[in-house]
């Protein structure tokens, strides 16, 4: 097939063009994102209508992030066990049920449980998408594929509130939730009828069957060896014994995979924390500074809209640059620009000044569109990829939750201005850290030394140090 090559260790086809997988890769994502975008603006209002205080309403909204954090590692295990297609179906259906429960919630407690379930479903959905593209796309196209995924998600989150607002006049307060239900069900239908997902799952099942057959053959040969006859597996050596390979597969758990690749998580993964924390802090600092300089809600919304426009326009060029020049040439500039924007915030005292600084922050974020998913895919092993990505996404979500928390802590101790300066310096430290570690896992680097080294199977010994 044109645009398709066999590039993975298991022999599962990888694409060298996004066209063959465009519907499978991006269709469910934009549908789900529109539904989420429609619901996000009304969650706090729904909680208030049910009698919640302002603080309790904020906690209800925060449960969405709590659910995503709690779901990262189980999502990796689930996707590895049942495959991306079934995981996406389960997540989409769970999201539809949670949306309906939130829209019809009779109490704040029920609403909170529904929002928590939305976070869990979102975690499974996001990881399954991530794992699918990491496996389906050749490394030379990976960054464009994943940055486009991030861009499609941004577009859906941007469009969703407008769609939800239109339904308020027709169905009242349940309108946005109805959009969420319909969008989730549409995503489930699209996943169910997409041929690429089904074919890929079939290839994966065939690979597992082949492993079982090799295990059985190895057992027969082992018995023959015990009777004094040399077996083919014994002649091939311990490293090539099918039984050993399958036994290793059977031991794969989230914990064992993360332990085997702990060096990646404690080096490159720390850069993920810095990136996520800086990005999340931007969403807290900009509106708070707008309030501090006396801007109203309408003006603040305009600032956010212009920043978001700059962000969305850059997702594909960012992916192209990563695939063309290497990941580090995007990761480092993104953090440098984000850090510059954070350092400039305390100097702003007017609407137009904040527009300029927010646009700088949007450009910095847009430059790095898809960088976290791309780095995770680059560092993920062929065996245990879903489990590894669960841990990788957990690192990102911890940073996403920790950024606003750090802003809050510094603002209480010092001021909001110093909180912004702190995040700017953190972004620059993160840029330096990424400059050191990103090239060591970048498949785009030229020369023999740039070839990615295979990761050892869990429990097989210490992880080798990546090549500098």
| Chain segment 409-438, per-residue pLDDT in tens | 899 899 999 999 999 999 999 999 999 999
Task: Provide the residue ranges of all domains of the chain, joining segments of one domain with +.
Answer: 4-201, 254-445
Structure tokens at 101: 């429960």
Contact call for residues 259 and 461 (beta carbons, < 8 A): no
Contact call for residues 334 and 364 (beta carbons, < 8 A): yes
Homologous superfamily of domain range 4-201:
MFS general substrate transporter like domains (1.20.1250.20)
Contacts 24+ apart (CB under 8 A), 282-286: 282/338, 282/341, 282/342, 282/361, 282/365, 283/404, 284/403, 284/404, 284/407, 284/408, 285/342, 285/345, 285/407, 285/416, 285/419, 285/420, 285/423, 286/345, 286/354, 286/358, 286/361
CATH 1.20.1250.20 assigned to 254-445: yes
Give the torsion sign (CA, 417, 419, 420, 426).
positive
145-159, pLDDT tens digit by residue?
A: 999 998 898 888 888
pTM metric for this prediction: 0.76
115-153, pLDDT tens digit by residue?
A: 999 999 999 999 998 988 888 888 888 899 999 998 898
Q: What value does the mean pLDDT take over residues 297-320?
A: 83
Q: Is 4-201's fold the same as 254-445's?
A: yes
Q: Which residue has the higher pLDDT, 347 or 21?
A: 347
Map residue 31 onto helix, strand or coil. helix
376: CB partners within 8 A, 6+ apart: 130, 134, 272, 388, 389, 392, 393
In terms of DSSP H, where are the helices of 40-174? 43-49, 54-82, 84-103, 108-136, 142-171
Contact call for residues 275 and 374 (beta carbons, < 8 A): no
């Amino acid at each position: 097939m044109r645009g398709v090559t066999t590039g993975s260790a298991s022999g599962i086809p990888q694409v060298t063009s996004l066209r063959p997988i465009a519907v499978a890769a991006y269709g469910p994502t934009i549908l789900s994102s529109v539904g989420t975008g429609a619901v996000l603006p009304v969650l706090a209002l729904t909680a208030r209508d049910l009698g919640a205080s302002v603080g309790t309403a904020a906690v209800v909204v925060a449960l969405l992030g709590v659910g995503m954090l709690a779901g990262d590692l189980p999502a990796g295990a689930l996707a590895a066990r049942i495959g991306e297609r079934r995981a996406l179906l389960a997540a989409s259906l769970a999201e539809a049920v949670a949306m309906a429960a939130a829209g019809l919630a009779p109490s704040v407690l029920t609403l909170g449980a529904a929002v928590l379930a939305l976070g869990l479903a979102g975690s499974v959905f996001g990881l399954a998408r991530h794992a699918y593209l990491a496996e389906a796309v050749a490394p030379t196209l990976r960054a464009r594929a994943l940055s486009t995924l991030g861009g499609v998600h941004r577009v859906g989150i941007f469009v969703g509130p407008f769609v939800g607002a239109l339904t308020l006049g027709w169905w009242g307060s349940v309108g946005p939730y109805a959009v969420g239900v319909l969008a989730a069900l549409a995503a489930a239908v699209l996943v169910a009828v997409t041929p690429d997902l089904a074919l890929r799952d079939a290839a994966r099942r065939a690979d597992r069957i082949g492993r079982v057959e090799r295990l059985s053959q190895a057992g027969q040969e082992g018995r023959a060896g015990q009777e004094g006859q040399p077996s083919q597996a014994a002649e091939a050596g311990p490293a090539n014994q099918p039984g050993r390979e399958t036994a290793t597969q059977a031991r794969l758990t989230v914990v064992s995979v993360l332990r085997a690749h702990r060096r990646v998580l404690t080096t490159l993964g720390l850069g993920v924390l810095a990136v996520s924390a800086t990005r999340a802090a931007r969403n807290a600092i900009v509106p708070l500074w707008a309030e501090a300089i006396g801007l109203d809600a309408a003006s603040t919304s305009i600032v956010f809209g212009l920043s978001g426009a700059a962000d969305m326009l850059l997702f594909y060029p960012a992916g192209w640059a990563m695939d063309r020049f290497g990941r580090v040439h995007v990761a480092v500039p993104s953090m440098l620009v984000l850090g510059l924007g954070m350092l400039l915030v305390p100097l702003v005292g007017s609407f137009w000044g904040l527009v300029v600084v927010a646009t700088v922050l949007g450009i910095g974020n847009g430059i790095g569109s898809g960088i976290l998913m791309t780095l995770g895919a680059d560092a993920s092993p062929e065996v245990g990829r879903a489990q590894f990505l669960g841990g990788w996404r957990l690192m990102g979500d911890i940073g996403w939750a920790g950024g606003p928390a750090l802003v809050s802590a510094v603002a209480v101790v010092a001021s909001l201005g110093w909180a912004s300066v702190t995040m700017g310096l953190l972004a620059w430290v993160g840029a330096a850290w990424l400059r050191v570690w990103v090239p060591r896992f970048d498949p785009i680097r030229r020369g023999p030394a740039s070839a990615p080294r295979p990761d050892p199977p869990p429990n097989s010994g210490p992880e080798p140090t990546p090549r500098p």
